[in-house]
């Protein structure tokens, strides 16, 4: 006989047959009822033990956290709360869990704070909340590949170690094998990176975009989906030092096409989980409702989780130029009453998360795509508009999250790009290959980056980005 998953047993297909199942004991109640969970789905299956006929020593070893192998019959449940249950014939303890040790961990079945759960991130996926979040994360990443595959995109693996700074923001982690205590020095007394492993300065990538552009100019439609790294010292609930980014890049597509693609893509991945992850979403929705009860009215979620996701799928994203947005912000109540931390008084100001959230949550009350930003506050590679001061950039802002997507049409004109790089002191030698693209059959092209964890936050309703990635990396924290 083969072992079944709990998810399979709960479909009732195997009712009235002998089954085997392996999993971890969540609880063992009244010396009789085991709640067994194997991670295949949110629910545990109830396994009923006939304690009178069971060896006392064995019974004692059925404890919260233990791994067990159960053989028995799948029958209609007598009790409430489940359709089927397992009548246990035999139970083998695969791995014991000492109750005293367990009592010090988050496996102890009671409410734990998210902060405490984070300290035991190696165990937290055994809780309902984290198993639901991580199943959703898995499902969303499958949906990402599915969308691009259905739409004729090729999956491209951008390098993790690189010599370039794609965003030009200087927030890079250095990669080196030099001895920090005794590095080779140049005649000027500076560290001689020509002696380093790669013979030059290298870092972990902040974005796969520049390499993806080279592939779009050969394969037409490509996307990357990989880890990216930023050494920005922002200790917020929306920033990680290591996060996963999805970056499509398309030849012959302009900014309007880019917005259409991003909107269609976001709607697809969200409707995918609405359809395939109903049980986990329902659980997370309840969890949020519970959490909201302890919050003041104005901090509560405006709508239940699944309704919020449905709203994204069913409504058009509002497209607004940066200039229009600045007008709205300049004249809005929180700006006039100086409620914002950063007051907006002139065109050119960079938008902070408080402004983005005002636009989305208070003003438009729907997802917003802001476009045509001032060139000064955006990266070097963005296509300059005819006005000479704005670039074809777009950011998608989501309720509760703020910026979730950032993208642009790329500067395809060699001379304009060179001028821009000179202005920003970006050496041409570093990006000679990127400039080459503009020499050999240059063409209009565009793409965007979606921060995968921000998408998972949105889809699960989790409020802290540290709770949607298995092992978060943030300033002063790289445990596990």
Binding-site ranges for Mg ion (CB under 5 A): 406
Nearer to ligand 4AD, 24 or 398 (CB): 398
Contact flag: residue 457 with ligand 4AD (CB under 6 A): no
Question: Look-up: residue for tokens 């390499």?
Answer: 211
Pair 56, 64: CB distance under 8 Å: no
Contact stretch for ligand 4AD (CB under 6 A) within 132-140, 352-360, 406-414, 421-429: 406-414
Total residues contacting ligand 4AD by CB under 6 A comes to 23
H or E element that contains 45: strand 45-48
Nearer to Mg ion, 86 or 379 (CB): 379
Out of 247, 285, 372, 412, the residue judged to bind ligand 4AD by CB under 6 A:
247
Select from Mg ion, ligand 4AD, none the partner in contact with residue 451, using the beta carbon and a kind-dependent cut-off of 5 to 8 Å: ligand 4AD
**Strand pairing partners for 368?**
318, 397
Distances (CA, A) of 82 to 36, 44, 68, 145: 13, 9, 21, 35
Q: b/e per residue, 369-395, with b = 16+ CB within 10 A?
A: bbbbbbbeebbbbbbbbeeeebbbbbb
Select from ligand 4AD, Mg ion, none the partner in contact with residue 344, using the beta carbon and a kind-dependent cut-off of 5 to 8 Å: none
Out of 28, 130, 223, 243, the residue judged to bind ligand 4AD by CB under 6 A:
243
| CA–CA distance, 271 with 170 (Å, rounded to integer) | 37
Give the strand order in the sheet containing 368-374.
154-155, 221-229, 242-251, 445-451, 402-409, 390-398, 368-374, 318-321
Out of 137, 239, 267, 392, the residue judged to bind ligand 4AD by CB under 6 A:
239
Contact flag: residue 407 with ligand 4AD (CB under 6 A): yes
Pair 402, 236: CB distance under 8 Å: no
Q: Is 103 helix (H, G, I), strand (E, B) or coil?
A: coil
Select from Mg ion, ligand 4AD, none the partner in contact with residue 404, using the beta carbon and a kind-dependent cut-off of 5 to 8 Å: ligand 4AD
Query: x/- string (CB under 6 A) for ligand 4AD, residues 365-404?
Result: --------------------------------------xx
Select from Mg ion, ligand 4AD, none the partner in contact with residue 126, using the beta carbon and a kind-dependent cut-off of 5 to 8 Å: none
Select from Mg ion, ligand 4AD, none the partner in contact with residue 383, using the beta carbon and a kind-dependent cut-off of 5 to 8 Å: none
Contact flag: residue 411 with ligand 4AD (CB under 6 A): no
Nearer to Mg ion, 37 or 409 (CB): 409
Question: Look-up: residue for tokens 């990216």?
Answer: 228
| CA–CA distance, 194 with 246 (Å, rounded to integer) | 33
Pair 367, 312: CB distance under 8 Å: yes
> CB of 229: closest distance to ligand 4AD in angstroms?
9
> CB of 448: closest distance to Mg ion in angstroms?
10
Contact flag: residue 405 with ligand 4AD (CB under 6 A): yes
Contact flag: residue 164 with ligand 4AD (CB under 6 A): no
Out of 88, 240, 251, 431, the residue judged to bind ligand 4AD by CB under 6 A:
240
| Residue 365 token pair | 């009350």
Contact flag: residue 454 with ligand 4AD (CB under 6 A): yes
Q: Within 13 A of 236's CA, how many CA atoms are on the CB side?
A: 11
Nearer to ligand 4AD, 17 or 233 (CB): 233
| Residue 118 token pair | 């984070």
Question: Look-up: residue for tokens 């409020």?
Answer: 463
Sign of CA dihedral 183, 185, 190, 191: negative
With CB atoms as reference, the residue minimizing the distance to Mg ion is 406
List residues binding ligand 4AD (CB under 6 A).
166-167, 207, 209, 230, 232, 239-240, 243, 245, 247, 403-408, 447-449, 451, 453-454
């Amino acid at each position: 006989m083969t072992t079944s998953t709990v998810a399979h047993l709960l479909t009732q297909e195997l009712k009235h047959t002998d089954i085997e199942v392996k999993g971890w004991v969540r609880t063992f109640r009244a010396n009789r009822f085991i709640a067994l969970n194997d991670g295949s789905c949110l629910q545990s299956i109830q396994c009923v033990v006939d304690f009178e006929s069971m060896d006392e020593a064995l019974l004692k070893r059925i404890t919260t956290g233990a791994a067990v192998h159960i053989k028995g019959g799948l029958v209609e449940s007598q009790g409430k709360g489940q359709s089927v249950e397992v009548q246990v014939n035999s139970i083998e303890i695969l791995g014991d869990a000492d109750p005293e040790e367990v009592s010090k961990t988050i496996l102890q079945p009671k409410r734990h704070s998210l902060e405490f759960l984070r300290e035991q991130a190696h165990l937290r996926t055994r809780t309902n909340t984290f198993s639901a979040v991580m199943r959703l994360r898995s499902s969303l990443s499958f949906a990402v590949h599915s969308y691009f595959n259905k739409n004729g995109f090729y999956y491209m693996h951008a390098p993790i170690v690189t010599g370039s700074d794609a965003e030009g923001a200087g927030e890079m982690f250095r990669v080196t094998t030099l001895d920090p205590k005794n590095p080779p020095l140049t005649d000027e007394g500076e560290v001689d990176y020509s002696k380093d492993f790669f013979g030059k300065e290298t870092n972990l990538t902040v974005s796969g975009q520049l390499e993806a552009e080279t592939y779009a100019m050969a394969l037409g439609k490509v996307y990357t989906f990989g880890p990216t790294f930023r050494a920005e010292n922002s200790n917020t609930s929306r920033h990680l030092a290591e996060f996963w980014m999805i970056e499509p890049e398309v030849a012959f597509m302009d900014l309007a096409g880019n917005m259409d693609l991003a909107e269609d893509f976001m709607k697809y991945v969200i409707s995918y989980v609405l359809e395939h992850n109903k049980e986990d979403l329902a659980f997370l929705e309840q969890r949020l409702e519970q959490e909201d009860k302890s919050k003041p009215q104005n901090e509560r979620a405006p709508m239940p989780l699944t309704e919020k996701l449905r709203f994204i799928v069913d409504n058009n994203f509002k497209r607004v130029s940066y200039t229009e947005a600045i007008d709205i912000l300049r004249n809005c109540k929180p700006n006039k009453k100086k409620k914002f931390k950063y007051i907006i008084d002139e065109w050119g100001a960079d938008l902070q998360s408080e402004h983005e959230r005002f636009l989305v949550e208070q003003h438009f009350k729907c997802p917003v795509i802001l476009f045509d930003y001032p060139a000064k506050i955006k990266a070097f590679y963005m296509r300059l508009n005819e006005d000479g001061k704005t670039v074809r950039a777009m950011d998608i802002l989501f309720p509760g999250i703020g910026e979730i997507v950032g993208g642009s049409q790329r500067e395809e004109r060699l001379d304009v790009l060179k001028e821009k790089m000179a202005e920003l002191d970006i050496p041409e030698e570093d990006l000679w290959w990127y400039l080459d693209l503009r020499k050999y059959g240059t063409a209009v092209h565009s793409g965007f980056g979606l921060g995968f964890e921000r998408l998972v936050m949105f889809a699960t309703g989790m409020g802290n980005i540290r709770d949607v990635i298995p092992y978060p990396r943030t300033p002063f924290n790289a445990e596990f």
